[in-house]
Amino acid sequence: MSHTMLNDPETGKALQTALRKILKGVARLVLRFGLSYEEFDELAKQAFIEVSEQELALPGRKQTDSRIAVVTGLSRKEVKRLRSVEPDTAEHATPVQYNRAARVLNGWLRHREYQDPAGSPLVLPIEGTKLSFTRLVKAHGGDIPVRAVLDELVRIGSVLRQDDGNVRVIHQAYVATGDIADKLAILGTDVMLLMDTISHNLDSDSEHAYLQLKLSYDNLPKEAIPLLQRISAEDGRVLLQQLNRWFADKDRDTNPKNSKLENDGRYYAGVGIYFFCRDLDKSSS
């Protein structure tokens, strides 16, 4: 979006209204976990600097402290200090960690050889030359150790290791159900991607816009929410499993025939579905 668009008072007002809503959600999270405003402010400055450095540099020129200071409004001294801080390597590792175990689970749910006649995932032995969990991981998990994948899928509640040593799927989705750190990592990734989609659509016509759909009703009784939540989860899971087959067919890691397209770029893409619910009698935004 062009900076000149903010010269339009209506655009500037709309942006401030949108940011106020976003920041209320951020404030709820920050205050819930006891993060101070000073700590949040430091993170916000780092984000401004990183975006300016990575995305707003002049073509063919190295981004300087002075240029970043002009773009962000921060002092040059502050920019220099924050640029010297070591980047958070965990931030960049999260999508990889998030996807490796999910990819193995998806392979289990997607490939017919790992399904019974009804289409349900088979119970698998850990070892074996044919259908086994080890073979599944080698086919879909890259170089990640088999035990590490199994431990992760058991930990999040997607897979159960039976008394006989075999493993079976008990939850057909990769969802972090235990460790709060995992849930927060997914929060950071998924909210960022949703905002990227909305940002892309601000500058795109209908032909080039990304999928961004939502339905909502604002006068639902409390008694209806559990049923709507269950239906949304069930139907949403079925839709994602169908879409998963299409994405996996084009992915280089899961479909070797695409490996020859090495010079055709590398993109991270997907579809997300979420259920939301707010008590309007207790909420003002």
Rounded average pLDDT over 15-32: 92
Q: pLDDT over 90 for what percent of the chain?
A: 37
pLDDT tier at 4, thresholds 50, 70, 90: very low
Q: What is the pLDDT of residues 154-182, one digit of tens each?
A: 887 889 999 998 999 987 766 655 567 77
From residue 95, alpha-carbon distances to 30, 91, 100, 187 in Å are: 22, 8, 9, 12
Q: How many CB atoms lie within 10 A of CB 102?
A: 19
What pLDDT is attached to residue 1?
45
- Cβ(265)–Cβ(4) below 8 Å: no
* DSSP assigned state of 63: -
- Cβ(111)–Cβ(130) below 8 Å: no
Structure tokens at 205: 């016509």
The CATH architecture that domain 90-169 belongs to is Orthogonal Bundle (1.10)
User: How far is C-alpha 239 from the chain's CA centre?
Assistant: 17
Report which residue type is found at 97.
Q
Report which residue type is found at 190.
D
pTM: 0.67
- Cβ(47)–Cβ(87) below 8 Å: no
